[in-house]
Amino acid sequence: MEGTRDILGLWARDGGEGAKYWLQVLTEIRNRGVADVCMVVCDGLKGLPEAIETVWSAALTQTCVIHLLRGSFRYAARQHWEAIARALKPV
């Protein structure tokens, strides 16, 4: 709420990053003392928003702006990507 960010951990593993995995990670963070989260910005991994809601029901989940912009290219033909990239650069 004061405008600061903290790195809460780094997890590496073999295998997928589904809902069960993220629920385990977020539960670990909560159990280490993070009682409440205002907002989580993520890249839209499958199951992550649901895991966030399970652990911190009041937290807002937002897709990272960079991932939203990158994802917008899939709706345009390749020939238009350069123009789209120039138009989105100020964002």
Q: Judge whether 63 lies within some domain.
A: yes
- Count CA atoms within 13 Å of residue 59 on its CB side: 23
Task: Give the whole-number percent of the chain exceeding pLDDT 70.
Answer: 99
47-82, pLDDT tens digit by residue?
Answer: 888 899 999 999 999 888 887 788 888 899 999 999
Helix axes 48-55, 19-31, angle to 10 degrees: 30
Q: Judge whether 4 lies within some domain.
A: no
What string of H, E and C letters represents the secondary structure of 72-86? HHHHCCHHHHHHHHH
Q: Judge whether 58 lies within some domain.
A: yes
**Residue 31 domain boundaries:** 19-88
Cα angle at 36 between 30 and 37, to 5 degrees?
Answer: 100
10-50, pLDDT tens digit by residue?
Answer: 888 777 777 888 899 899 999 999 999 888 888 777 788 88
Total structural domains in the chain? 1
Interatomic CA distance for residues 21 and 78, integer angstroms: 35
